[in-house]
A and B are shown apart, each in its own frame.
Chain A
Amino acid sequence: MAVLTTSNLTMQFGAQRALADVSIEVPSGVTGLVGANGAGKTTLMSIALGLRDQTQGAIRVLGLDPRQDGATLRAMVGYGPERNVLPEDMPAFDFVKHLAEIRGMPRNEARSRASDVLWLVGLGEERFRALGTMSTGQRQRVKLAQSIAADPSFVLLDEPTDGLDPVQRDEMLALIRQISEEFSIDVMLSSHLLEEVERVCDNIVALDAGVLVASGPLDELVGDEDGLTVELVAIDDRPDAVVQTLERLRGRGVEVELVDDTLHLRGTDRNALVDEVRDAIAASEARVRRIVNRRRTLEDLFDRNAS
């Protein structure tokens, strides 16, 4: 069953259209909601939680209509907001326990679950520390902990890696993956960092200024494409080597494009392309950094949409 489906979902704020005719079907697993700031990611999450009413179209989350069954739905859904502002003087344990109770856990259950999830996210030793004394990374973990404390079926995480350094980001993404795989909790995370979404998600919903750019399994949207990517190194004593390589390849009838010292070669016969590249580089005495199979990235999806 799809976790979330929308049909022609439109959200209008005055003259500004935040979402325009978005129709998607999000299956189980980790789904990345990607797009630049202002793409409509938070608006889609708000509508999915029943916190805003869409202007047009329909949405169903876990089979429920958020407008009609908001309270029932929100008991089954966890949410980690983008804002990093939390009650300064409240200990992390009290914060997580309180929200677990609000989401319907009996008091004793909420207490033990608060402790367990804080251990799970790596804050076991820090759980009685006031939120105001915690770092951004620790606060992000607390937000994740509160979102899963009440055993939700589905978790919406708004920019869960915002403000984290690369190491913390890796740890957070690993936690999100663990939540989905070990505890069978479906996750939708929003991010404007395409690379991290490619690393952790099973499915993608890409938005650009409220318009759906692409949606579907990550494997289908990104991955190997026909052709090669050849990164060359510009060197001072042979300044024309890169251009000569390009021209030589074109002279041989290879479909090739040069972007920032990187050649993008298209063609189905990869072995033949490798031979052509080898000969062209040898002739022009260019220096190679790496030769890899051409990959379609999320960035390509947005570039294609923009063009």
Chain B
Amino acid sequence: MNTAEIFDRGYRKFEGERSGVFGAVRSLAWHTMRSILGLGRKARHKIFPVIVILIAFLPAVIFIGIAALFPGNIFGDEARPEYWELAQSSGFAILLFCAMVVPEALVRDRRDGMLGLYLSTPLTKATYLGGKVLAVMATLVIVTVGPALLLLTATTLESQGPNGIFDWVKTAGQIFLAGAGISAVFAAVAFAASSLTDRRAFASVATALIFIGSPLIVGALIDGADMSQNLRVFDVISMAFEFSPRVFGDMSVDLQDISDTQVFVADGAWTALGAAVVWLRYRRLGAA
């Protein structure tokens, strides 16, 4: 026998516990991530994230595919990409993601009135930005950490990974740290560009120009005007991607004149500069 119950639907008091600021930040971050990845939205919103993720994972997938089709260490250790190289090989995908995704996450709220509404909830400007950063970082980490983590998993299953649990955990930690470092620099710069305009297209172009323009200008000064190699610290792309090999105790061939400290300080400075621009901009924004 069916024992159906009819509940009185309609407006009612809420007696439970509210999730507070932490819940608000978590909810905002999750909503933003879903929006960035096109989840719960029309198919056309999913195309771009899928393409970027495919581009990012392609090198790792190709290597793993070949290794699976031809068992044994047929290419030798030299042929296998380093974990940090995977983040660099997906550089174009990361750049595209930042230029398109961060403006989507930030500019949209200012244009469609959501920022004012968010600030009428337990969120403050600081926690709002925290939620946005969390969402963008978590999304970027998919392309900066994901491929290397996939390769680590595959090589581990093929018994070609790090030796012992300690090395494995250390390698996984380095992969996460490297991915998070790259993501932080890229996100900070893209956030700064997106905070300065209410037009998404302008923010995307500005982000791309900073990423593409800084290596061009620095390259012209070093190679054309014969200036110091130390100017490389102003090349945000090189510094962001160089974070990865330095975490693994390695370095790129063309950045051997730049010390580890210079790389880490430069990345920290770019991130801090981006964060400062965003904070100054949002501090002055009216809420309602």
Contact = CB atoms under 8 A, between A and B. Distances in A.
Interface of A: 42, 45-46, 49, 51-52, 70-72, 74-75, 77, 79, 81, 83, 85-89, 94, 98-99, 101-106, 109, 112-113, 116-117, 119-120, 146, 148, 150-151, 158, 182-183
A51 B288 contact: yes
A105 B14 contact: yes
Nearest to A79: B120
A98 B116 CA distance: 14
Q: 3 closest Cβ contacts across the A-B interface?
A: A104-B18, A79-B120, A51-B287
Contacts of A101: 19, 23-24, 27, 31
Contacts of A87: 108, 112-114
A74 B124 CA distance: 10
Contact of A150 (B14, B112, B113, B286): B14
A52 B287 contact: yes
B40 A71 contact: no
Nearest to A82: B288
Contacts of A119: 9-10
A112 B9 CA distance: 9
Given A83-B113, A87-B114, A89-B41, A42 B123 contact: no
Contacts, number: 112
A120 B11 contact: yes
Interface residues of B, number: 37
A98 B122 CA distance: 13
Of A52, A75, A102, A182, most B-chain CB atoms within 10 Å: A102
A151 B10 CA distance: 12
Given A75-B20, A86-B114, A101-B19, 15 more contacts: A45-B288, A49-B119, A51-B287, A52-B288, A71-B20, A71-B124, A71-B127, A74-B120, A75-B18, A77-B120, A87-B114, A98-B31, A104-B19, A151-B13, A151-B14
A78 to B, nearest CB: 8
Contacts of B175: none
B71 interface: no
Nearest to B10: A116
Chain A binding surface SS class: helix
Contact of B9 (A74, A86, A116): A116
Contacts of A83: 113, 116
B118 interface: yes
A102 B122 contact: yes
B35 to A, nearest CB: 9
B28 interface: yes
Interface of B: 9-14, 16, 18-21, 23-24, 27-28, 31, 40-42, 108, 111-114, 116-124, 127, 286-288
A50 to B, nearest CB: 9
Contacts of B24: 101-104
30 contacts: A42-B288, A46-B287, A49-B120, A51-B120, A51-B287, A52-B288, A71-B21, A71-B123, A72-B122, A74-B121, A74-B122, A75-B18, A79-B288, A81-B288, A85-B112, A85-B113, A86-B112, A87-B113, A89-B42, A103-B121, A104-B23, A105-B14, A109-B14, A113-B14, A116-B10, A120-B10, A120-B11, A148-B11, A151-B13, A182-B11
Contacts of B18: 75, 103-105, 150
Contact of B113 (A75, A77, A81): A81
A223 B116 CA distance: 38
B22 to A, nearest CB: 10
A71 B24 CA distance: 10
Nearest to A156: B120
Contacts of A70: 124
B118 to A, nearest CB: 7
Of A106, A109, A182, most B-chain CB atoms within 10 Å: A106
A101 B24 CA distance: 7
A70 B127 CA distance: 12
B132 to A, nearest CB: 13
Contacts of A72: 122
Contacts of B286: 46, 52
A37 B96 CA distance: 45
A109 B16 contact: yes
B236 to A, nearest CB: 32
A151 B15 CA distance: 9
Contacts of A86: 112-114
B49 to A, nearest CB: 16
Contact of B40 (A75, A94, A99, A105): A94
A117 B155 CA distance: 53
A142 B283 CA distance: 29
B114 to A, nearest CB: 6
A75 B114 contact: no
A184 to B, nearest CB: 9
A116 B117 CA distance: 21
Contacts of B117: 79, 81, 99, 146
A87 B117 CA distance: 11
Given A81-B288, A98-B27, A116 B113 contact: no
A268 B206 CA distance: 74
A88 B112 CA distance: 8
Nearest to A110: B27
Contact of A116 (B11, B119, B124): B11
A182 B122 CA distance: 26
